[in-house]
């Protein structure tokens, strides 16, 4: 059948199982939006307030479903507004396809109105990108883009389409998408080598990351951990990939991880790294990381092997299959004495907490109160900063794909868009966004989107009136010279929410928390809670950058 380019886009999206897209219309994508109007019974479009919000929404949709998120933007500023969202997805290996319009072919490279080379701009932050100059190539490019985004180490792909291509007519033939199979690269010898190292270990630990969740390999990890009797530490990205209630779970590893995970890393004789990349926030001092340990790495991306930390043995391939094979290969073990030692470190760790106050709520109290009234399947989203670390420390995640945060890029302003994508994907669940006043000020315009679609999102603004994490670093490393981290803003977030058509509430101190939260969570409507916390609250413990657990900070003035 003959279709125009925009109809081909819609048909290819349906081929790929896409039923929801996020975006913002503009001149160069008018043909695409005309097709979306015709296909509105099969493809739902969520209109954001800003293209960056749409990109983060596609990201949140992808993280919480395992599907590929889709975002659409017009040329020029519409396309460049996607860049931060695309980079966020790239750093965390999240599959999204970004479709941008561009000026017509005859106007390319002429500095035309709203023209920009988005392929050149986005090249370092995408797995691949395309500009489609002939409508005959369009369908195959779209199919290839989804395959690239979803295969191997997942990530974002961009397709730039000139306006005349979206209006051109071409013969279209539907194709059934090929099933993506990520082959195991390692052979039997690699599994046997790893198994031998594991068998010889007396003090092993598992360090897992977001790759486990990306591969849907949570059950395989659980089986492997139980058979090898290994305590499990997780990166920020790995939260939810191993149940926090399990006896082997240690908590997060790295700069703001627990004392026990730091001590285990320092004293173990084997680190089995699964779907993680030894970032600087985990391996602060790369030369001393796991200094007495051998390291086995399981990953799908060969570029990660020996990139940050020297590896003794590795296994390449999809974690769902490689973990199963390795579990079948290893012998059952008992490391009860080692686990008891790790647990003892956990009991002996002490972090100074500020005393209870009538003026402020304590972030831990609020987070634990939220955990008490949420289900394991509800979705927790954060922005970036102190609140992000507090949630990673105190919220107990039991299920995969219930945690959405910007790990690698650390994008302030990520949270509200990601919460929107999560809520659209899971209307049956409650979505909780923990944010800071600094992060929330960046993209709070998306409250309009939350209200328009009546999304069940509870926004908890940890409002300390300062840029808390940067201010904490200024305390520690810059002689308490608080340069531009106390902006003196007077925003009343409860009243602001009401201006957007959303209910606003307040938590003044710990005594308010349970009652306010119970009221907020009693409906399926959006709520914004202005939660006052002290500007002097800190994220502890903390390993300074480039240091080890020997330099752990547990208290600050």
Catalytic residue among 67, 127, 163, 263: 163
The answer to whether residues 327 and 391 belong to one domain is no
| pLDDT bracket for residue 352 (50, 70, 90) | low
The answer to whether residues 97 and 204 belong to one domain is no
| pLDDT bracket for residue 354 (50, 70, 90) | confident
Backbone angles phi, psi at 429, to 5 degrees: -110, 160
CATH number at 136 reads: 3.40.50.970
Domain assignment present for residue 544? The answer is no
73, containing H or E segment:
strand 69-73
Structural domain ending residue among the three candidates 119, 143, 171: 171
Catalytic residue among 113, 219, 291, 477: 113
Active site residue 130: no
Other Cβ atoms less than 10 A from the Cβ of 491: the count is: 16
Other Cβ atoms less than 10 A from the Cβ of 349: the count is: 16
The answer to whether residues 431 and 527 belong to one domain is yes
| pLDDT bracket for residue 350 (50, 70, 90) | low
Domain assignment present for residue 500? The answer is yes
Domain assignment present for residue 353? The answer is no
Active site residue 434: no
> Model-level pTM greater than 0.95?
yes
Mean pLDDT for 238-247 is 98
In three-state secondary structure terms, 380 is strand
The answer to whether residues 34 and 112 belong to one domain is yes
Active site residue 136: no
Task: Express each pLDDT in 293-329 by its tens digit.
Answer: 999 999 999 999 999 999 999 999 999 999 999 999 9
Q: Tell me the pLDDT of the chain averaged across its residues.
A: 96
Backbone angles phi, psi at 481, to 5 degrees: -85, 95
Q: Picking from 25-34, 348-357, 395-404, 447-456, which range would have the lowest pLDDT averaged per residue? A: 348-357
Domain assignment present for residue 176? The answer is no
| Count: domains in the chain | 3
- Please name the residue that has the structure tokens 């779907």: 275
Across the strands, what pairs with 313? 296
The answer to whether residues 305 and 158 belong to one domain is no
Domain assignment present for residue 549? The answer is no
CA quadruple 395, 400, 406, 407: dihedral, nearest 10: 90
Mean pLDDT for 55-59 is 98
Across the strands, what pairs with 381? 404, 433
Domain assignment present for residue 507? The answer is yes
Strands 2-4 and 169-171: antiparallel
Buried b (16+ CB within 10 A) or exposed e, 141-166: bbbebbbbbbbbbbbbbbbbbbbbbb
In terms of Cα–Cα distance, which of 495, 424, 493, 497 is closest to 455? 424
**Which residue has better confidence, 357 or 320?**
320
DSSP class of 257? S
Answer whether 256's CB lies under 8 Å from 539's CB.
Answer: yes
pLDDT at 549: 86
The answer to whether residues 371 and 444 belong to one domain is yes
The answer to whether residues 496 and 367 belong to one domain is yes
Answer whether 530's CB lies under 8 Å from 492's CB.
Answer: yes
30-38 helix and 5-15 helix, angle to the nearest 10 degrees:
50
The percent of residues in the chain predicted with pLDDT above 70, rounded, is 99
CA quadruple 537, 543, 549, 550: dihedral, nearest 10: -90
Active site residue 200: no
The answer to whether residues 293 and 382 belong to one domain is no
Catalytic residue among 412, 469, 505, 542: 469
CA quadruple 63, 68, 70, 76: dihedral, nearest 10: 90
Q: Is the peptide bond before 541 cis (omega within 30 degrees of 0)?
A: yes
Active site residue 388: no
Mean pLDDT for 108-112 is 95
Domain assignment present for residue 183? The answer is no
The answer to whether residues 223 and 287 belong to one domain is yes
Is residue 369 scored above 90 in pLDDT? Answer: yes
The answer to whether residues 94 and 167 belong to one domain is yes
What is the DSSP annotation of 512-554? Answer: HHHHHHHHHTTSSS-EEEEEE--TT----SBPPTT--GGG-B-
Distance between CA 175 and CA 496 in Å, rounded? Answer: 48
CATH number at 254 reads: 3.40.50.1220
In terms of Cα–Cα distance, which of 325, 341, 222, 221 is closest to 276? 221
For 463, the domain range is 363-539
Catalytic residue among 15, 114, 133, 249: 114
Beta strands per DSSP E along 372-414: 379-382, 403-404
Domain assignment present for residue 356? The answer is no
The answer to whether residues 144 and 213 belong to one domain is no
Mean pLDDT for 361-365 is 96
Task: Express each pLDDT in 456-493 by its tens digit.
Answer: 999 999 999 999 999 999 999 999 999 999 998 999 99
Catalytic residue among 11, 51, 260, 537: 51
The answer to whether residues 7 and 100 belong to one domain is yes
DSSP class of 451? H
Mean pLDDT for 17-35 is 98
Cα separation of the two ends of the chain: 72
DSSP class of 32? H
Q: Picking from 11-20, 175-184, 237-246, 395-404, which range would have the lowest pLDDT averaged per residue? A: 175-184
């Amino acid at each position: 059948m003959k279709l125009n380019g925009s109809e081909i886009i819609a048909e290819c999206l349906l081929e790929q199982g896409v039923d929801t897209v996020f975006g913002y219309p503009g001149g160069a994508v008018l043909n695409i939006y005309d097709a979306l109007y015709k296909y509105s019974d099969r493809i739902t479009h969520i209109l954001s307030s800003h293209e960056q919000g749409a990109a983060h929404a596609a990201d949140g949709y992808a993280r919480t479903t395992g599907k590929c998120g889709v975002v659409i933007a017009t040329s020029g500023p519409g396309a460049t507004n996607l860049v931060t969202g695309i980079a966020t997805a790239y750093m965390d290996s999240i599959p999204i396809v970004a479709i941008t319009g561009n000026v017509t072919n005859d106007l390319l490279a002429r500095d035309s109105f709203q023209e920009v080379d988005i392929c050149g701009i986005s090249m370092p932050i995408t797995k691949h990108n395309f500009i489609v100059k002939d409508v005959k190539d369009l369908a195959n490019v779209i199919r290839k883009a989804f395959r690239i985004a979803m295969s191997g180490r997942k990530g974002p792909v961009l397709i730039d389409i000139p306006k005349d291509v979206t209006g051109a007519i071409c013969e279209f033939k539907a194709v059934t998408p090929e099933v993506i199979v990520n082959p195991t690269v390692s052979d039997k010898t690699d599994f046997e080598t790893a198994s031998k190292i594991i068998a010889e270990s007396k003090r092993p630990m598992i360090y897992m990351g977001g790759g486990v969740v990306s591969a849907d390999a949570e059950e395989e990890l659980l089986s492997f951990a139980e058979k090898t009797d290994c305590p499990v530490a997780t990166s920020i990205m790995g939260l939810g990939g191993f149940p926090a209630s399990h006896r082997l779970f240690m908590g997060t590893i790295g700069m703001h991880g627990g004392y026990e995970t730091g001590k285990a890393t320092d004293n173990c004789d084997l680190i089995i790294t699964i779907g993680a990349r030894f970032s600087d926030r985990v391996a602060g001092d790369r030369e001393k990381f796991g200094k007495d340990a051998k390291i086995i790495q399981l990953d799908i991306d060969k570029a990660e092997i020996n990139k940050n930390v020297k590896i003794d043995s590795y296994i390449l391939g999809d974690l769902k299959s490689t973990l199963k094979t390795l579990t079948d290969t290893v012998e059952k073990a008992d490391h009860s004495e080692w686990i008891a030692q790790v647990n003892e470190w956990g009991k002996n760790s002490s972090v100074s907490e500020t005393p209870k106050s009538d003026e402020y709520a304590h972030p831990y109290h609020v987070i634990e109160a939220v955990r008490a009234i949420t289900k394991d399947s509800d979705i927790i989203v954060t922005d970036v900063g102190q609140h992000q670390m507090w949630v990673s420390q105190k919220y107990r995640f039991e299920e995969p794909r219930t945690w959405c945060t910007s790990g690698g890029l650390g994008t302030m302003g990520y949270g509200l868009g990601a919460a929107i994508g999560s809520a659209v994907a899971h209307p049956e669940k409650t979505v909780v966004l923990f944010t800071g006043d600094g992060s929330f000020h960046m993209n709070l315009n998306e409250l309009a989107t939350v209200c328009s679609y009546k999304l069940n999102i509870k926004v908890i603004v940890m409002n300390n009136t300062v840029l808390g994490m940067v201010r904490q670093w200024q305390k520690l490393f810059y002689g308490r010279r608080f340069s531009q981290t106390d902006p003196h803003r007077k925003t009343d977030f409860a009243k602001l929410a009401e201006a957007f058509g959303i209910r606003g509430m307040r938590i003044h101190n710990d005594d308010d928390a349970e009652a306010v939260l119970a009221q907020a969570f009693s409906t399926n409507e959006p709520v914004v809670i202005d939660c006052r916390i002290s500007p002097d609250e800190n994220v502890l413990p903390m390993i300074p950058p480039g240091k080890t657990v020997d330099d752990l900070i547990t208290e600050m003035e």
